[in-house]
Amino acid sequence: MSDLETFRREMRAWFEANAPKSLVGQAGSELEGTWGGRKATYPNPDLKLWLDRAAARGLTAPTWPKEYGGGGLDPAEAKVFSQLLRELKLPPPLIGFGLTMIGPTLLRFGNEEQKKLHLPRICRGEIRWCQGYSEPGAGSDLASLQTKAVREGDHFVLNGTKVWTSYADQADWIFALVRTNPTAKKQEGITFLLIDMDTPGVSVSPILLISGKSPFCETHFQDVRVPVSNVIHKIDAGWTVAKALLGHERTMIADAFGAAGPKPDKKGGRSYLAELAATKIGETNGRISDPVFRDEVAAFEMESRAFAYTVQRTKDAARAGHQPGSESSMFKVYGTELNQRRYELIVRLLGPDALGWEGPGFEEDDLESTREWLRSRGNTIEGGTSEVQLNILAKHVLGLPA
């Protein structure tokens, strides 16, 4: 028996002994699951139990070094871990921007003190992070940001506003871009800074979306004092860090919106879309009755699975140490547009059942699908618009002239 086969057998035994049975079949993705943090609530106590058991084994961040709270797994072992999660239909024990964005960035750019302070708390689910990049007037043109950080001794004093800060009202810390040199070129006067959301002067205002939810927020800084020791990399050199983190963010968005479906597969391996079509359109001899919808569902399923495999290969490469670069824009463009097409197909399958907003007469799943369809309209804007991503691909990947 090979070492990897032995690891798989031991890992499966650990799952069977430690994964709560109540979580089997529960949905999980990069944006759906247990976020952890100081404000976390656990409707099912087994979610916290699963988090604590996995964290104790280092399995919330399987490939991170053990000295920072990770599992120390090599890429092949980490792939086995992910495969077993899917095979046993278990949700990830922990999700969040700590794992997908700031954690990998700290591993690359953070000093030893910063790694030892922040990474173990991320792995244990003690701190939830949010991202402070976009500002009013500095969304697509991110380098035009104006949140100012003026140095006073061992601290920076921050003033400004961030916008579209996902889940800021639930977060404990924020990683943010701030302007520390207003006379330098746009990209050269920016610093990457870590900020405790409990610091006096930090306030958050949720933004109500067309879907009826408020995952986005405005984050305000008024004379906020932040230690200079919270600078990642170097003062005025934050743009380098920012670009590296964006590679992780784009891959995460592609996985969350594109590769992952809106619901877990139904019994018998049938996808949510196929089950929905069979229920709303009807089926004949086990096939979706309407040939047009049958073709559309089949084509979409093939495309979605092919994209999921591509994203998975990219994640496997990341575990092996490959840092995502400008090519990650391709995943962001394709994944978000794929998700929009998914929900367009869903509401067409729902027909009149997609017209509900609230109240009696509609199934809860149908109402949720309508709201998610509305929410999906923002996918090609958030995290950098598709137009910006295409410009990045044209310039930095294809080498086309400006």
* CATH number of the domain encompassing residue 330: 1.20.140.10
Same domain (yes/no): 308, 272: yes
Same domain (yes/no): 199, 287: no
* CATH number of the domain encompassing residue 208: 2.40.110.10
Neighbours of 83 (CB within 10 A): 13
Residue 372 within a domain: yes
Same domain (yes/no): 321, 390: yes
Query: How far is residue 221 CA from its own chain's centroid?
Result: 24
Compute and round to an integer the Cα radius of gyration of the chain. Answer: 22
Question: Is it the case that residue 260 has pLDDT exceeding 60?
Answer: no
Same domain (yes/no): 200, 338: no
Residue 350 domain boundaries = 241-397
Question: Is it the case that residue 331 has pLDDT exceeding 60?
Answer: yes
The tokens describing 237, both together, are: 């050199």
Question: Is it the case that residue 174 has pLDDT exceeding 80?
Answer: yes
At 23-71, the pLDDT tens digits run 998 867 777 899 999 999 999 999 999 999 999 999 999 999 999 999 9
At 336-353, the pLDDT tens digits run 999 999 999 999 999 999
User: Rounded CA gap, 63 and 103, in Å?
Assistant: 11
Give the pLDDT of residue 264.
Answer: 47
Same domain (yes/no): 216, 96: no
Given the residues 30, 77, 135, 249, select the one marked as catalytic: 249
Question: Is it the case that residue 268 has pLDDT exceeding 50?
Answer: no
3-state secondary structure 206-272: EECCCCCCCCEEEEEEEEEEEEHHHEECCCCCHHHHHHHHHHHHHHHHHHHHHHCCCCCCCHHHCCH
Give the pLDDT of residue 261.
Answer: 55
At 113-133, the pLDDT tens digits run 999 999 999 999 999 999 999
Residue 186 within a domain: yes
Give the pLDDT of residue 160.
Answer: 98
At 297-326, the pLDDT tens digits run 999 999 988 988 888 887 777 766 677 778
First vs last C-alpha separation in the chain: 55
Cβ atoms of 78 and 85 within 8 Å: the answer is: no
Same domain (yes/no): 290, 259: yes
Same domain (yes/no): 204, 75: no
3-state secondary structure 105-147: HHHHHCCHHHHHHHHHHHHCCCCCEEEECCECCECCCHHHCCC
Q: Identify which of 389, 102, 395, 382 has the alpha carbon closest to the alpha carbon of residue 241.
A: 102
- In eight-state DSSP terms, residue 324 is P
Strands (DSSP E) contained in 249-358 are 283-284, 287-288
Count CA atoms closer than 13 A to 398's CA, side-chain side: 12
Q: Which of 68-72, 85-89, 249-253, 336-340 has the highest mean pLDDT?
A: 68-72
Residue 118 within a domain: yes
Residue listed under structure tokens 């949905």: 27
Q: Last residue of some domain: 236, 266, 296?
A: 236
- In eight-state DSSP terms, residue 351 is G
Residue 402 within a domain: no
Give the pLDDT of residue 217.
Answer: 96
Residue 221 within a domain: yes
Region for residue 73 given its phi and psi (left: phi exceeds 0; alpha: psi -120 to 50; beta: otherwise): beta
Same domain (yes/no): 195, 257: no
pLDDT > 90: what percent of the chain? 69
Give the pLDDT of residue 337.
Answer: 93
Q: What is the total count of domains within the chain?
A: 3
**Average pLDDT rounded to a whole number, residues 87-91:** 91
Question: Is it the case that residue 356 has pLDDT exceeding 60?
Answer: yes
Q: Last residue of some domain: 202, 236, 270?
A: 236
**Alpha-carbon distances, residue 144 vs 94, 175, 177, 223, 254 (angstroms):** 34, 17, 11, 21, 26
* CATH number of the domain encompassing residue 54: 1.10.540.10
Same domain (yes/no): 349, 256: yes
pTM score, whole prediction: 0.88
Residue 369 within a domain: yes
Give the pLDDT of residue 383.
Answer: 83
The tokens describing 247, both together, are: 């590679």
Same domain (yes/no): 15, 49: yes
Segment 52-57 long-range contacts (CB within 8 Å, at least 24 positions apart): 53/18, 53/19, 53/93, 54/18, 54/93, 54/94, 55/93, 55/94, 55/123, 55/124, 55/125, 57/14, 57/18
Neighbours of 37 (CB within 10 A): 22
The tokens describing 215, both together, are: 């995952």
Are β-strands 190-196 and 173-179 bridged in parallel, bridged antiparallel, or unpaired? antiparallel
Residue 16 within a domain: yes
At 360-395, the pLDDT tens digits run 889 998 999 999 999 999 889 888 889 988 998 999
Give the pLDDT of residue 259.
Answer: 61
| 218 DSSP β-pair partners | 205
- Which amino acid would we find at residue 219? T
Same domain (yes/no): 45, 117: yes
**Average pLDDT rounded to a whole number, residues 147-155:** 98
Same domain (yes/no): 204, 249: no
Say which residue, 51 or 209, is predicted with more confidence. Answer: 51
Question: Is it the case that residue 262 has pLDDT exceeding 70?
Answer: no
Question: Is it the case that residue 269 has pLDDT exceeding 70?
Answer: no
**Average pLDDT rounded to a whole number, residues 204-215:** 91
Question: Is it the case that residue 179 has pLDDT exceeding 90?
Answer: yes
**Average pLDDT rounded to a whole number, residues 257-282:** 72
Question: Is it the case that residue 267 has pLDDT exceeding 50?
Answer: no
Cβ atoms of 62 and 70 within 8 Å: the answer is: yes
Is residue 249 annotated as a catalytic residue, yes or no?
A: yes
Residue 115 within a domain: yes
Q: Last residue of some domain: 93, 123, 153?
A: 123
